[in-house]
Amino acid sequence: MSNEAVFLEHLLENSAYRWKDLPVKAYTAAGTQSRGMTKQILFEGTDMLPTEIRYFESEPGGYSALEAHEHVHHVIIMRGSGHALLGDHVHPITTYDSIHIPSWTYHQFYAAADSYLGFLCMVHPQRDRPKRPDEEALKSLLSNPAVKDWIRY
Amino acid sequence: MSNEAVFLEHLLENSAYRWKDLPVKAYTAAGTQSRGMTKQILFEGTDMLPTEIRYFESEPGGYSALEAHEHVHHVIIMRGSGHALLGDHVHPITTYDSIHIPSWTYHQFYAAADSYLGFLCMVHPQRDRPKRPDEEALKSLLSNPAVKDWIRY
């Protein structure tokens, strides 16, 4: 990136949050299942500020992929409400909540049935690939009454 | 930071945005002038994710310090509206706008007279100290009709 100010004007289009001239990607985590989710990259990260800033948005009832990885996430909820799987529990989430997801913690975001869920997710530009739960990890998640009815895989 | 999930619940207190158990600091940039601004650090940054995530909030009519530095900022407006000085121009800003502030660019945020202005500001945890404009820089800013009536110093 050259040393120029970049200003992304916010737009609201058909109830979805968008930024001017910024492409909207259907969010498909490698090999994992998600629903109703889009991704927009607000900042790709540089040596001066090694963080990629992404905006994920789910339609009501949608969810992100169930995954874990070595790299950490910092998430800030921007709109709506829902729930988040964080390892061994599911937490209700609402606009402006701030969530740090540590290494190797299974996580998944669920929009409420009647609400969009939009969040910023900060991540290191260089990172390992997310992993879906293997058979053993899935068994462990499904044996936990606090999360078993939430997870989508 | 240990490898544990950190969940900061969002609170709305007397019209100001706060997070549970997170200290609120009066924002005073070194040697510079600001008004009506507070700062909350949502994430301090780690080797795994070298970005400090701060939430700044100004009362209606308030403003941040006028400064420039080598390090870059990435700002996302979270609430309200106002204006931002970005080098040689002043840009109207509103909720969800995304602004990249490059190196050595004088910047200052102004809340509208009738609106709070809250924004996230991402920055490298290791960074140089901000500089106020010296006499020459101030002369240059004041000779620019696009910014001269905005700047507070």
Q: Residue A1 — pLDDT band, cuts 50, 70, 90?
A: very low
Q: What is the structure's pLDDT at A8?
A: 73
The neighbour count for residue B54, using CB atoms within 10 Å, is: 20
Q: Which pLDDT band holds residue A18 (cuts at 50, 70, 90)?
A: confident
B18 strand-pairing partners: B11
The confidence band for B21, taking pLDDT boundaries of 50, 70 and 90, is confident
Question: How far, in Å, CA of B130 to CA of B105, rounded?
Answer: 11
Mean pLDDT (chain B, rounded):
88
Mean residue pLDDT across chain A: 88
**Residue of chain B with shortest Cα separation from A10:** B97
pLDDT at B1: 43
ipTM for the whole complex: 0.88
- At A142 the three-state DSSP class reads helix
Our CA dihedral for B73, B79, B80, B81, rounded to 10 degrees, sits at 20
Mean pLDDT confidence for B67-96? 94
A5 touches chain B (CB under 8 A): yes
Chain A / chain B CB contacts < 8 angstroms? 135
d(CA A97, CA A114): 19
What pLDDT sits at residue B6? 73
Beta bridge partners of A71: none
Region A14-43 average pLDDT: 76
Catalytic residue selected from B121, B123, B141, B151: B121
* A50–B98 C-beta distance less than 8 A: no
Q: Does B21 touch chain A (CB under 8 A)?
A: no
| pLDDT tens digits, B31-55 | 457 888 999 999 999 999 999 999 9
Residue B3 in contact with residue B101, Cβ under 8 Å?
A: no
What pLDDT is stored for residue B25 in this prediction?
79
pLDDT in tens, B120-140: 999 999 999 999 999 999 999
Q: Which of A2, A9, A147 is nearest to B91 (CA)?
A: A9
Catalytic annotation on A15? no
Name the residue of chain A whose CA is nearest to B46's CA.
Answer: A72
Percent of chain A with pLDDT over 70: 89
- What dihedral do alpha carbons B78, B79, B82, B86 form, nearest 10°? -10
Task: Give the pLDDT band (50/70/90) at residue A10.
Answer: low
pLDDT at A25: 78
Are the beta carbons of A1 and B103 separated by less than 8 Å?
no
**Of the given ranges (A81-85, A121-125, B3-7, B21-25), which has the lowest mean pLDDT?**
B3-7
Q: Is B135 helix (H, G, I), strand (E, B) or coil?
A: helix
Please tell me if residue A124 touches chain B, with a CB cutoff of 8 Å: yes
CA-derived radius of gyration, chain A: 16
Q: pTM score, two decimals?
A: 0.89
Residue A55 CA to residue B6 CA, distance in Å, equals 20
Residue B97 touches partner A, C-beta closer than 8 Å: yes
Token pair for A49: 């500020």
Q: For chain B, what percent of residues have pLDDT higher than 70?
A: 89
What average pLDDT does range A16-30 have in this prediction? 72
Using the predicted structure, report yes or no on whether residue B13 has a pLDDT greater than 60.
no
DSSP A113: T
